[in-house]
Chain A
Amino acid sequence: MNVKTAYSTRASVLDAANEIRQQLLGVEPTMVLYFASSTYAPAALSEAMQTAFGATTVIGCTTAGEIADGIMLRHSIVAMAFTKAALKRFRVALVEDVNEKKTLKEKIVRAMKSFEECYGAPASKLDPGRLVGLILIDGLCRAEERVMEKIGDLTDVTFLGGAAGDDRKFEKTYIYGNGKAYTNAALLAMIEPATPFDVIKTQSFRCLGKKLLATEVDEDTRTVMRFDGKPAASAYADALGVPLETASESFEKNPLGLMLDDEPYVRSPQRIDNGHIVFYCNIKKGMELSVLESTDIVHDTRAAIEKSRAKLGSISGIISFSCILRRLELEKDGLVESYGKVFSGAPTIGFSTYGEEYIGHINQTATMLVLG
């Protein structure tokens, strides 16, 4: 057995942690990864989960919804135990105070040093075909872009993951490790799977053939003031051919995409503020964005997983980080159950995120680590 999954919907922290432990009895995990609703008291939960698994490395974060195997959940804890047959080696590093710009690089360098010690090579020389990185980051820290950029500067190993959620309260999200709960933090794990692996990035959009050039932005607040020299909200409304007054109703179905060949890196509008558009991730001045239109999430996700299965031969586990906006769209369309079933053929855990990480910080996407 490579991995085993478990979940609990018990409301009490101790009951839920014990139920997870019971479901994983008989497994000797080297690492346990879990995602938990923000309804559980953060410090108590992290302590209970660490206690349940003793000296094992136990890491996780809060969510805006969970998934285990083929079931979409809310107010639950989902967990995956990794045995030695799944992971040859791994090293975890916690980065605190991620929103302190001046010290961030130094902290990421320190995390990389610890990976270098583990794998015996400079971060820049670590093999992306053999190693893969996971990142769990505070979903309200507004530092995800900088953290991902610094990681990407230092190593070619692909880092993927998600920004923690808090069940759409947008108050506080937590990262779990060492039996403690952290805010304004990121947890990086550099892992060497014992089997072949694949990384999926999937989003369900097509280009409408209309482009917007960001001509005035405030990166720190993720705000675009002007597209093509016009107030951003008006330019967006004009591009879609909808009235300015109702433009925000199109945000979920019509986000913008930074295009590389035919692949969008989605930037989702959050709200209109005084004619400007505030996004869920930043847009730099001079970026040209394509107006997108949503397509079939269930079909595209199934196709992405099947492609990965064909590449690997079989799948022993999936860790999924999927945008909360995708879940909301699935809920609106009555497709939550169908989406869950896409994962029913493989041990899976995942959560609904406040942003997905894959090379950079992106929106309305699912990133997944697939173990063969």
Chain B
Amino acid sequence: MAGQIKHIIDTIMAKRTLGNPMLISTTRTKLLLKGINTIKFTDESPDDPVVIAQLDEIAREFGIILNHEKQL
């Protein structure tokens, strides 16, 4: 399977920034410093469970509920 990482990143970015350009920039920086370079992931990126777990943890720290976590 592929594309889940990009989907989670997009969800985090959308929920955290609400489209505010300043927040888009700072949130990308926060993710980069946490080890997630947002521009490296595409719809074709493999679903690496380590990266997905990392993003789940980041979302939790950001106070964001991800849809795929709700289903668990």
Contacts and interface: CB of A to CB of B under 8 A. Distances in A.
Contacts of A190: none
Interface string B24-37: 00111110111101
Interface in B31-68: 32-35, 37, 61-63
B61 A265 contact: no
A310 B45 CA distance: 42
B22 interface: yes
Interface of B is mostly: helix
Interface string A51-77: 000000000000000000000000000
A145 B35 CA distance: 12
A367 interface: no
Nearest to B63: A124
Contacts of B14: none
B32 A128 contact: no
Given A129-B22, A286-B35, A265 B62 contact: no
Contacts of A152: 26, 30
B23 A156 contact: yes
A158 interface: yes
Contacts of A287: 35
B23 A265 contact: no
A260 interface: yes
A364 to B, nearest CB: 16
Nearest to A362: B33
Contact of B35 (A124, A158, A284): A284
Chain A: number of interface residues, binned into ranges: 20 to 34
A288 B61 CA distance: 24
Given A149-B33, A153-B62, A360-B33, A260 B28 contact: yes
Nearest to B33: A360
B37 A288 contact: yes
| Most A C-beta atoms less than 10 A away, residue of B16, B22, B23, B35 | B35
Interface string A5-43: 000000000000000000000000000000000000000
A107 to B, nearest CB: 15
Nearest to B50: A286
A260 B29 contact: yes
B29 A265 contact: yes
A335 B27 CA distance: 36
Interface string A269-287: 0000000000000001111
Given A153-B61, A359-B29, A128 B23 contact: yes
Contacts of A288: 37
B4 to A, nearest CB: 17
B29 A360 contact: yes
A128 B22 contact: yes
Given A124-B63, A153-B61, A158 B26 contact: yes
Nearest to A158: B26
A258 interface: yes
B48 to A, nearest CB: 10
B63 A360 contact: no
Interface in A99-151: 124, 128-129, 145, 148-149
The 6 A-B residue pairs with the shortest CB-CB distance, nearest first, are A360-B33, A284-B35, A153-B61, A359-B29, A152-B30, A260-B32
12 contacts: A148-B33, A152-B30, A153-B30, A153-B62, A156-B27, A260-B28, A260-B32, A285-B35, A288-B37, A359-B26, A359-B30, A359-B33
Given A149-B30, A152-B30, A153-B62, 15 more contacts: A128-B26, A129-B22, A153-B61, A153-B63, A156-B16, A156-B27, A260-B32, A260-B37, A265-B32, A284-B35, A285-B35, A286-B35, A359-B29, A360-B29, A360-B30
